[in-house]
Amino acid sequence: MSREVDIKRMVELAEQLEYHSHKYYVENSPEISDFEFDRLLRELQDLEDKYPDMASPNSPTKRVGSDLTAEFDSVEHRIPMQSLSNTYSPDELGEWIDRIIREIGEVEFVCELKFDGTAISLTYENGELLQAITRGDGRRGDDVTNNVRTIRTLPLRLRGEGYPQLFEIRGEIFMPYASFDRLNAEREAVGEPLLANPRNAAAGTLKQQSSQVVAHRGLDCTLYHLAGDGVEFKTHWESLEAARGWGFRVSEHARICRTREEVEAYIAYWDVERKALPYATDGVVIKVNRYADQRTLGSTAKAPRWAVAYKFQAERALTKLLSVDFQVGRTGAITPVANLEPVQLAGTIVKRASIHNADQIALLDIRLGDMVYVEKGGEIIPKITGVELSARDEYSRPFEYITRCPECGAELVRYEGEAKHYCPNASGCKPQIIGRIEHFVKRKAMDIEGLGGETIELLWENGMLRDISDVYRLDPMLLASLPRLGEKSAANIIEGVRRSLAVPFERVLFALGIRFVGETTAKYLATHFRTLDAIAAATAEELAEAEEIGSKIADSIIAYFADEQNVRIIERLRESGLRFEVEDKVKTSNALEGKSIVISGKFVGRSRDDMKALVEEHGGKNLAAVSANVDFVVAGDNMGPAKRQKAEKLGVKILSEAEFMELINGAERVTQPAEPLSRTEVESAPIQGTLF
């Protein structure tokens, strides 16, 4: 059979498989058997193996995913993804509707179920899926295209006609209850911790580095908003109907409402009927239908004025309180957790619930053996909100809160203005030590791969880790001798430790785990004071001069540096070579002056962040997506096929790593400090380091 015939057959098979996928997964009306579908899929896979250069990145074979590890690029949204204003109050919702009617006059609303998942923005070009980006912070998100391709209800190629040449469609990726229950049953069978709820499971699945794992987990997707210059409809409803015709799954439960009473009736109906749905919903979104009216109403800095989300009141269940455990966090905070008789709540079986603190226990008069009300209003762990006093045993006794740490036995303390009790034994309480080390090595801090919670606990038990400074004194031979590790794992840990020495100061500061000093606060402190020594020597008044530093944070910083043990740990970290001061960016040459460059793939001996840093050092500008504005792409191994395809289509030059290095190494050198970051840049810039 000739190549031309084979390639024609590949096109035919792809079209047939997309058609039958839509019939099965979206319309629920399959026309062929599973066996016949699998036979067609195998035939296409065989042809793609024969002609890999002709395999489309949107081939139906990509639905099963790949076991290749994928890193996620951070991508800027072409159109920012705003949040919606929320309300739990029928009166507030009524006031919002009345205001809209006063401003617009006769108006139509579209009411849609609010799916409880994770937001996604999909870009289609010439009818094919080009890119899928998470919401992120609304300005930038992660490119999860390969993972999204595995969602079978999502069209890789559009049907029908009339769709814009380039447009975005936004929606929600969620995990149906059936997928969630199956996944937790599998995890329970092998002794893995259970996933908390479908929403968190969907978000976590979307960030899996193996799209094969994503395909197995069974995500779903519903779409609800078209965006882009090429989208030309008069109403939101028309756009939804068009999207449905192009093959997108659009909720069949959306309705047009013209009065406040119709909106309220829609909400009342679904507040009851949502419990019978096969997926989680947590409210109703109400949007003004006509786009002209939307433009008249406009938006605030954070949310559109023409839409609002009405959140259902949290579901609750009644069950028995069996016992209370006390957990110790990395800051020493004691958290009581209730053990319950298993009960069905919001689509999941609940066995544990938070009680928050001693005050909450006393306020509700919670006692062992009580029948308690449990709510799940978005929390990972549900919470106890009340007691059914009529069911209380007449011999029950008030609950006695613990006075000593359940882990180390130290007497608990309660600081002024704090609701929680704390274990003050920071240097000798195992959960606190392990928690601080886990915080220190996590991705947004020192980013040391291979040191997960179980490994850190193993090293603690073997006397190899007693505080965060011990991370830089690990012996590879001793590491390799421990159970579950071996030479390869030990080598990976040591390499991760070595690479972490290049992490910039603001992330080192965050990694120290100073109470109340999060990622953004660490950026502000680093920008203002420039060195750790300056922060340590600052008075409360001087600390307060930095952006967003109030008295509470200032007092915490002073207390941290007043602790002699913390000072010793910092000195050991300094001896190990960590960065304790801001390093000015230096412009090495003008080789890339005025050039816009995309870095994609994996590189030999350098991380992607390293490559981006080189672009900036030589005067260039990093872009996340390929467009006509890009001067060239630097391609490493496993460059995304969609990026390569688009670059070739636009005629954008693609350089190898070697060609890129030759370009900058041959340039005439200059030395010029970069301009300092503005406050806006500090607040919006992602925390990322340059590893060597």
Enumerate the active-site residues: 114
Place of tokens 């109340």: 516
Give the whole-angstrom CA distance, residue 639 versus residue 624.
13
The residue among 305, 151, 293 whose CA lies nearest residue 221 is 151
Amino acid letter, 114:
K
DSSP per position, 328-393: E-TT-BEEEEEEEEEEEETTEEEEEEE--SHHHHHHHT--TT-EEEEE-SS-SS-EEEEE-GGG--
Give the whole-angstrom CA distance, residue 13 versus residue 48.
11
Q: Kindly give, in sequence order, each residue whose CB lies less than 8 Å from that of residue 573, ignoring residues fewer than 6 positions away.
A: 468, 469, 472, 508, 580
Give the whole-angstrom CA distance, residue 166 versus residue 27.
26
Amino acid letter, 524:
Y
**H/E segment holding residue 661:** helix 657-665
Helix axes of 90-104 and 260-273: crossing angle, nearest 10 degrees:
150
Identify the three-state secondary structure at position 435. Answer: helix
**Tokens standing for 173?**
């990726």
CA angle 277, 29, 113 (to 5 degrees): 25
For residue 228, give the DSSP letter. S
Give the whole-angstrom CA distance, residue 493 versus residue 78.
38
Place of tokens 């006695």: 400
Give the whole-angstrom CA distance, residue 643 versus residue 174.
27
In angstroms, the Cα distances linking 443 to 446, 452, 555 are 6, 11, 27
- Tell me whether strands 316-328 and 334-345 are parallel, antiparallel or unpaired: antiparallel
Give the whole-angstrom CA distance, residue 45 versus residue 10.
9
Q: In what order do the strands lie in the sheet with 118-125?
A: 128-134, 118-125, 166-174, 220-227
User: 448-455: long-range contacts (C-beta < 8 A, 24 or more apart)?
Assistant: 448/493, 448/496, 448/497, 448/499, 448/500, 449/492, 449/493, 449/496, 450/489, 450/492, 450/493, 450/496, 451/493, 451/496, 454/484, 455/484, 455/485, 455/493
